[in-house]
């Protein structure tokens, strides 16, 4: 750690980042707390100030609400309007936490940025920097970090990557850290109030999407939907279409304002296409094999990955997968290592 001359620790106001800060402080690092104001629902600054005071470290509060609104909230609304399923946490990590924040820190002479993510920069200190799953697979957040630039990895510290949530909570209680134990998790939608995302979209846009038709995969009219933003691929509940076999959302067609419904077996796809790949290894020149994860909590499936140029890939699953949703993040793994990530454009039929 001698190389870490000046370390910023991102403090959210929750248990994980507080414990990460305490662990780094025990290592004797030159530590400086930073807190991002991203939305009115975030932890109040005075709570984070109390934590910094308890740790005896300086704190800087950075207001990035305008950047967050432009790059995350606007993206969130526009993706739903296009009939896609956004992943704002993946977007926020790349654009805000490891984008705008890192740009700010570099100007201030910081050499490293630490966070409370459950991920590992390397399983050990040997070899070139890479991104790996956290030891606690139930809390692993490497999926959400898949769009970080490879060049940034040497400057990142993930103190919780080798720990379980149980161990983190034990340290939190033993250290008596002054933070809320029920703080929202970083993979939750921090900007969505209790009403849900449809209410948020309506309030932000000033209107709801117009009603349209439910159709089956053959184009037969089944009923009327409430607006495209109320649905996502794979959804079963809340459709209101009686049938002997339950219907699922198979596809969204914004150009026709239609929601395509079908039965469970019609959700299966042999593969997908993805764009804007961000590689955390040297970009492969040809076909590779990897485990493809198509949404958070998806267990992953072995797949053949074929680069198509311009950041696009074709993914052929070893076994068909259900509910491939355009707009979601595709993340590729080799065992615990993150190879890269892109945005799902559509399923192969």
Question: Which residue in 3, 4, 89, 190 is the catalytic one?
Answer: 190
Which residues, 6+ apart, have CB-to-CB distance to 209 below 8 Å? 80, 81, 227, 228, 229, 230, 257
Mean pLDDT confidence for 297-317: 96
* pTM for this predicted structure: 0.92
Residues 125-155: pLDDT tens digits?
667 889 999 999 999 999 999 999 999 999 9
- Alpha-carbon span 18 to 120, nearest angstrom: 18
Please answer whether residues 271 and 303 qualify as being in contact, where contact means their C-beta atoms are separated by less than 8 angstroms: yes
Pick the closest to residue 299 from 276, 322, 274, 328 (CA basis). Answer: 322
Q: Where in the chain is the domain with CATH 2.30.30.280?
A: 209-262
Residues 12-37: pLDDT tens digits?
989 999 999 999 999 999 999 999 99
- 336 pairs with which residues across the strands? none
Q: Where in the chain is the domain with CATH 2.40.30.10?
A: 268-348
Q: Quick one: residue 46, left, alpha or beta (phi over 0 = left, psi -120 to 50 = alpha)?
A: alpha
Residues 179-238: pLDDT tens digits?
877 665 555 577 776 657 888 888 777 667 899 999 999 999 999 999 998 899 999 999
Phi then psi dihedrals of residue 296, to 5 deg: -60, 140
Q: Are strands 119-120 and 112-114 parallel, antiparallel or unpaired?
A: unpaired
User: Residue 184 gets which letter from DSSP?
Assistant: P
Select the more confidently predicted residue: 108 or 4. Answer: 108
190 is catalytic: yes
Q: Which CATH superfamily is domain 268-348 in?
A: Translation factors (2.40.30.10)
3 is catalytic: no
Please answer whether residues 144 and 187 qualify as being in contact, where contact means their C-beta atoms are separated by less than 8 angstroms: yes
Residues 89-133: pLDDT tens digits?
999 999 999 999 999 999 999 999 999 999 999 866 667 889 999
Q: Say yes or no to pLDDT of 1 above 50.
A: no
- Alpha-carbon span 64 to 250, nearest angstrom: 37
Confidence of residue 157 (pLDDT cuts 50, 70, 90): very high
Q: What is the CATH number of domain 7-175?
A: 3.40.50.620
Q: What is the pLDDT of residue 268?
A: 97
Q: What is the CATH number of domain 209-262?
A: 2.30.30.280
Residues 40-76: pLDDT tens digits?
766 567 889 999 999 999 999 999 999 999 999 999 9
Please answer whether residues 130 and 153 qualify as being in contact, where contact means their C-beta atoms are separated by less than 8 angstroms: yes
Q: Where in the chain is the domain with CATH 3.40.50.620?
A: 7-175
Please answer whether residues 275 and 146 qualify as being in contact, where contact means their C-beta atoms are separated by less than 8 angstroms: no
Cβ density class 140-171: b for 16+ within 10 Å, e for less: bbbbbbbbbebeebebbbbbbbebbeeebeeb
Please answer whether residues 113 and 120 qualify as being in contact, where contact means their C-beta atoms are separated by less than 8 angstroms: no
Q: What is the pLDDT of residue 124?
A: 65
């Amino acid at each position: 750690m001698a190389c870490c001359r000046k370390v910023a620790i991102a403090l959210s106001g929750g248990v994980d980042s507080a414990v990460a800060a305490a662990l780094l402080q025990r290592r004797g690092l030159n530590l400086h707390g930073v807190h991002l104001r991203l939305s009115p629902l975030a932890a109040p600054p005075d709570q984070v100030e109390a934590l910094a005071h308890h740790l005896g470290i300086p704190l800087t509060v950075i207001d990035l609400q305008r950047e967050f609104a432009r790059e995350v909230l606007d993206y969130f609304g526009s993706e739903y309007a296009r009939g896609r399923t956004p992943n704002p946490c993946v977007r926020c990590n790349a654009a805000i936490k490891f984008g705008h924040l890192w740009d700010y820190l570099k100007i201030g002479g910081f050499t490293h940025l630490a966070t409370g993510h459950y991920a590992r920069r390397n399983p050990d200190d040997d070899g070139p920097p890479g991104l790996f799953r956290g030891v606690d697979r139930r809390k692993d957040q490497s999926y959400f970090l898949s769009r970080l630039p490879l060049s940034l990895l040497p400057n990142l510290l993930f103190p919780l990557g080798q720990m379980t949530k149980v161990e983190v909570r034990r340290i939190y209680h033993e250290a008596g850290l002054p933070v809320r134990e029920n703080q929202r998790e970083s993979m939750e939608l921090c900007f969505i109030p209790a009403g849900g995302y449809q209410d948020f979209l309506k309030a932000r846009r000033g209107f709801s999407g117009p009603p349209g038709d439910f159709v089956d995969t053959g184009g037969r009219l089944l009923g009327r939907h409430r607006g495209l933003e109320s649905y996502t691929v794979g959804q079963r509940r809340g459709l209101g279409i009686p049938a002997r076999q339950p219907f699922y959302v198979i596809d969204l067609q914004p150009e026709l304002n239609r929601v395509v419904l079908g039965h469970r077996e019609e959700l299966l796809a042999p593969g997908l296409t993805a764009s804007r790949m961000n590689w955390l290894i040297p970009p492969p020149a040809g076909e590779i094999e990897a485990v493809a994860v198509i949404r958070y909590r998806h267990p992953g499936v072995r797949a053949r990955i074929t680069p198509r140029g311009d950041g696009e890939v074709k993914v052929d699953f070893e076994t068909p997968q259900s509910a491939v949703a355009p707009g979601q993040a595709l993340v590729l793994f080799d065992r615990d290592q993150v190879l890269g990530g892109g945005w799902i454009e559509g399923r192969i039929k």
